[in-house]
Chain A
């Protein structure tokens, strides 16, 4: 399914909400350009009809206005009226410019917010498999620098293109109305300069890409040197590293200098071309004046209009060459926006969750794996019971739980998982996950305060509940020992918690929402045996009627469970109660003996 079949579809989608700002901004940009055309007119009128004595060629309405204040003679006596006219046009233009710029930013910011929000929300709802298949750095890159490229494309480059074209067209029209042939002298230079600057900017662009590549190489030499500082020192290879760096540094610099040379060439030649354009107007204008087809004021106006053209014309090439980059960025965002989000089937509902959980012939293989991680697993977890899963690294015990939480989809032949007889495929995912509390082995804490982390599932934070949950998880004391207590910030800008502290914070986070199904995925592994026991007792007292699933390495963690399975390489090897399993004298028994009694030295010498 593709939501956005083309790039334009996606851009139009992101533009919803900001279009009116951009429309207003364009309108006012046009007004600014129009007002900019007025001053040369005033000047030429002043020179010709106020200072000089030529009859004015002004539109009738303006003529009436001048007659109102006493005609040209009054202006001659009081040139302050002309100043006032220039100033009021200046004020009007300033106002329009202000509106244009603020509207443009409003549009740009609304647009970029929409992009960011939509991307973030879309990413949040993408299935977990998508997250594991795509590299984090790449996605973040798309969400930041590609978003900025597109923002610049819409709010700077497109707008500038529009303004430039308007400016050029208006200036040429005004010039043409004064003296058509002189105007042509200027107009003929425009395509020359635009094509010239376009060619150069394409060249500059490719030179820049090369610089970028070499910079990347240099940058990774530094990166490798810094991360491998131990290897460099231990092998005594400082001199070699220095040589490697200096060589690339010189190489990289030479590309920059090449780029600089091209740019300098571009600027100098463009300056000369512009200078020639000015010269043409001066020469043609003089000739026209002498022939009497152009007034002095008209000449001054022509030169002013010509000056207005210079910058926009030179920008045009740059804007056009930069605009081509945006396409790639849009494509990169389209990839994200077109990835399919998790959805619930129409029939999905919210059945009661305090019911028996069953796995029926569950088989599951990861996308790139050669053999399945779970093979034909069938089991029943009675509602309200405590269920233990013992398994080694790679036995598939975590996958079993991710499947229950519907983080992964069971294939068509993958069997079935039900809660109270309802296939979890028909339970709303959000509802399912909120009712299954799972503490991961390596919990992820958000860069927020500890109380916000613990209370993250609640809509409003209730300090009493947070404290209670923290006490059960035996993290209360540790939190209180921080200077800011529950307001301590976690993560990059705050304290670093130990593995055990993280696990206990995650347990508190889960306990607070009192879900009917609780999963502890080896979540006490980083906690010492004594605290482990303390937490287990506290949890047992507080879980009430919840179904508890314990996954552990330590037998003491799950020996009191009502039922225990031993999972090995994706299959159930043994199951029963602790006593039954001991009596079986199998794997469980051997691990139990090892953990309780230890090994004697003879056996230990493997």
Chain B
């Protein structure tokens, strides 16, 4: 959903992340220094070999072998320590930055308005919080260290080479730019291929998805062979592209090793000549030979890291964008001053909510829609009133509820709560007084107790049991071995829909809200549970201002006012009797349901 434009931030967007690095700047500087020292030492190790050849072997003596060994071993251990410290710190920085970013992204999401959640799919947002942040941490730690390690090594090697033999070093340096240009060219091409491969791969996953979710249709149509044929085309395509990619990457790697051989050949040719003429020692020649074989790898690694930045630019951009996203519904500074924000409520200033609600000349259109779904809508809902909203699935029954809960704000006009504009008080104040029961009840993973306490964190077990009794949900609990301590699994997976429904009623009752919103279930549940839920609804709405989005019309015949919604708009309102007399759309809906009841009754 909502595919954003190609990233365009300067320097891969990294400057925007500086605030996240600030707490770790000392660590980062230490890491860089230690990394540079360690790589410098790596570059110097062949010198030991040179000493061995020139001194011990050349001089036919073992004099000084003790100190030589001691120096070597202590350097080795020293380097090991440095590496350990810098790797651990690098990992810590990575994970801490990740953690900070994830926390900020998650917390920011808690303040964003519903239009953001309507615009972006759950999967999309989830990926921003969970995977993009991880990539960012990796960039500023490991990838950066990679540059440091390899960069320092290459520089170290160049310095050593220049010191021990300028002539040969200059010769080798001539080859480096050629290699770099060659590597950059290939690296870009390989990135391109990898993108293509990912695209085909996601197509194949899509095909699996379609083949498996659409199994019934495929069988009924008898098109198995066609589906298999089309699938084979994709997999063949995948094979073709992958083999092309392999052709280039194999060419790349082979050429790279051939270049190493070229450098070695060069060293043997010119170095050999110098040595024969007695102008160079064997040990020096050996050092050059080992550099010849080991110098190109780090250069390639640097180029790979740099070109890798291009591909994660978009990830950085997306996280930065999420963090910069502004909420459509925000409390004004004055309101925050007085009532506090979502994370720092000032409960001492909160007025008690009574539950009188009034829509005054409200016009509304969704931020992403172009049509007004409410125009100059007026409705007074004195506290304790029961408002029912009916209409077909997808007709837009949630709009009013969204406004009452201030998930959205009126485009024009006002929503008054207890006579004052809803915007004059904080969102959290309002939400703390609202109970909400969804048609697909949403429970969180955790125990029954944790879930029921969601609206009232300090509820005692007695209160919880009382709430369960009110909605006749003790039987649900009775079946569980650990009672309130039972873990209900992700999203309440161990419960049936009806049971989840009952628990979410209990949760709402426990919060004892002044305003109650019920989105009634459509799913087919057995008659016994259905009866229990109906009773629960009756109990719950008593004495509260309530908005019931109804699917079963028989449940709302007693509502104080019924709003009939069709095509997103309220087309009529009145009591049940009034609407039946009208013989309009409500009558039609009611008739249809009555007929369904007939089937049930015809035993």
Show the binding face of A for B, using Cβ within 8 Å: 39, 42-43, 46-47, 50-51, 76, 79-80, 82-84, 86-87, 89-91, 93-95, 97-98, 100-102, 104-106, 108-110, 112-113, 116-117, 120-121, 123-126, 128, 131, 136, 139-140, 143-144, 215, 218-220, 222-242, 245-246, 249-250, 253, 256-257, 260-261, 263-265, 267-269, 271-272, 275-276, 278-279, 282-283, 285-287, 289-290, 296, 299-300, 303-304, 307, 391-395, 405, 407, 430, 433-434, 436, 438, 440, 443-444, 446-447, 456-457, 492, 509, 553, 568, 573, 587, 590-591, 594-595, 598-599, 601, 604-606
Contacts and interface: CB of A to CB of B under 8 A. Distances in A.
Contact of B88 (A218, A261, A446): A261
21 contacts: A84-B265, A105-B245, A113-B235, A124-B218, A140-B208, A219-B130, A223-B126, A224-B442, A228-B444, A230-B442, A233-B427, A236-B342, A239-B342, A249-B102, A268-B87, A272-B77, A304-B289, A405-B219, A590-B598, A591-B598, A604-B580
Contacts of B111: 238
A355 B546 CA distance: 59
Contacts of B205: 140, 144
B591 A599 contact: yes
A94 B250 CA distance: 9
A433 to B, nearest CB: 4
B117 A229 contact: yes
Given A225-B109, A282-B52, A87 B262 contact: yes
A478 B91 CA distance: 57
Contacts of A136: 209, 212-213
B580 A601 contact: yes
A257 B272 contact: no
Contacts of A82: 265, 268-269, 272
A440 B217 contact: yes
A87 B96 CA distance: 49
B258 interface: yes
Contact of B62 (A98, A286, A300): A286
B206 interface: yes
Contacts of A51: 272, 275-276, 282
A447 B208 CA distance: 12
B215 A128 contact: yes
Nearest to B220: A438
A405 B222 CA distance: 10
A218 B232 CA distance: 37
A605 B556 CA distance: 11
Contact of A97 (B242, B250, B580, B602): B250
A238 to B, nearest CB: 4
A306 B525 CA distance: 73
Given A101-B253, A101-B254, A604 B594 contact: yes
B265 to A, nearest CB: 4
B536 to A, nearest CB: 17
Contacts of B65: 283, 286
B110 interface: yes
> Could you say which interface size class chain B belongs to?
35 or more
Given A86-B261, A98-B251, A234-B405, A430 B445 contact: no
A601 B577 contact: yes
B595 A595 contact: yes
B125 interface: yes
Contact of A568 (B231, B275, B599): B599
A497 B249 CA distance: 44
Contacts of A128: 215-216, 219
B494 interface: no
Closest A-B pairs by Cβ, 5 of them? A90-B261, A260-B91, A392-B599, A105-B246, A234-B436
Nearest to A259: B91
Contacts, number: 406
Interface in B223-246: 223-224, 226-228, 231-232, 235-236, 238-239, 242-243, 245-246
Interface stretch (B8-16, B68-76, B311-319): B68-76
Contacts of B95: 253, 256-257, 260
Contacts of B596: 392-393
Given A226-B125, A230-B407, A230-B442, A113 B591 contact: no
A287 B228 contact: no
Contacts of B236: 113
Contacts of A391: 599
A285 B65 CA distance: 12
A239 B345 CA distance: 9
A245 B53 contact: no
A271 B76 CA distance: 8
Interface string B186-225: 0000000000000000001111111111111111111110
Given A238-B110, A264-B84, A307-B290, A224 B445 contact: yes
Nearest to A215: B130
B106 A79 contact: no
Nearest to B590: A604
A147 B224 CA distance: 22
B498 interface: no
B62 A236 contact: no
B504 to A, nearest CB: 8
Contacts of A606: 554, 594, 597
A90 B599 CA distance: 84
Contact of A87 (B92, B254, B261): B261
Nearest to B58: A296
Q: Which of B58, B270, B342 is packed against the most chain A CB atoms within 10 Å?
A: B342
A46 B257 contact: no
A112 B236 CA distance: 10
Nearest to B441: A231
A128 to B, nearest CB: 6
Contacts of B464: none
Contacts of A235: 431-432, 434-436, 454-455, 511
B38 to A, nearest CB: 9
A267 to B, nearest CB: 6
A292 to B, nearest CB: 9
B590 A50 contact: no
A591 B592 CA distance: 10
Nearest to A245: B106
Given A260-B88, A300-B286, A595-B595, A218 B130 contact: yes
A393 B594 contact: no
A311 B181 CA distance: 27
B412 interface: no
B490 A242 contact: no
A456 to B, nearest CB: 6
Nearest to B55: A286
Contact of A598 (B99, B272, B517, B591): B591
A604 B553 CA distance: 11
Contacts of B407: 230, 233
**Most chain A CB neighbours (cut-off 10 Å) among B205, B207, B444, B524:** B444
A39 B264 contact: yes
Nearest to A52: B282
Contacts of A304: 289-290
Nearest to A231: B442
Interface string B261-301: 11011101110110110000010011001100100000000
B103 interface: yes
Contacts of A444: 213-214, 216-217
B529 interface: no
Contacts of B261: 39, 86-87, 89-91, 93-94
B83 A271 contact: yes
Interface string B577-603: 100110100010011001111111010
Contacts of B211: 120, 123-124
A278 B206 CA distance: 51
A515 B283 CA distance: 87
A253 B99 contact: yes
A196 to B, nearest CB: 14
Given A120-B208, A285-B52, A393-B596, 4 more contacts: A224-B491, A245-B107, A279-B72, A446-B210
B103 A231 contact: no
